[in-house]
Structure 1
């Protein structure tokens, strides 16, 4: 899972233009990183591209933190 965590952090850093070193599993996109709805869209798109996934809108709405993303990707990637 640590590789997935590092890859998720990389996507977040690229999309939000932030330093990934401060991200942890509890970091929330909206509350902690001040991501807006477009940022969230680009994060999900980045995760789909990086991991070869198709994340449904319903699933995307449930991904609210770094940990949510890591857990979702870990259970859905091939």
Structure 2
């Protein structure tokens, strides 16, 4: 009974809740997150041409690819001299660019830019 008396006494000493709750200041969203939201929130629908342009752009930025040799039909290993690790890095870059994961079983089959374009178009339901 002593514990009950103490807890009741402690309840009596508590201040009455205020009429309006005090809210914690809102934390700002990091700039990168805001930037990504802005970048993707109002993008036009994907087209085959848009996918092709983005795939080629990402590939041109890859330091081991000579942009002069690059075409949509260039084979990564035969024409561009890349190895299997380079191909994995390319697939990872495409996953980042298009915002979805490509399973390893599918990624192993993507050996030229056109195959990547076709794969992304199929997964994103883009048909022209």
* TM bracket, shorter-chain basis: 0.7 to 0.9
Aligned ranges 1:1-78 → 2 under 5 Å: 1-15=48-62, 16-19=64-67, 22-77=69-124
CA drift of 1:25 comes to 2.5
Check the 8 A contact 2:70/2:80 in 1, yes or no.
Answer: no
The 4+ residue runs of structure 1 with deviation greater than 4 A are none
Provide the aligned length of Structure 1 versus Structure 2: 77
Distance 1:18 1:69 in 2: 18
TM-score by length of 2: 0.55
DSSP 3-state at the match of 2:108: helix
Q: TM-score, normalising length from structure 1?
A: 0.86
- Alignment RMSD, CA only? 1.6
Question: What runs of 5+ residues in structure 2 fail to find an aligned partner?
Answer: 1-47
State the 1:53 CA deviation. Answer: 1.5
* Structure showing greater relative contact order (alpha-carbon pairs closer than 8 Å, 6 or more residues apart): 1
Question: Greater share of helix residues, 1 or 2?
Answer: 1
Q: Distance in 2 between matches of 1:61 and 1:31?
A: 15
Q: Deviations over 1:22-68 (max 9, x none)?
A: 53321111111111111111100000000011100000011011110
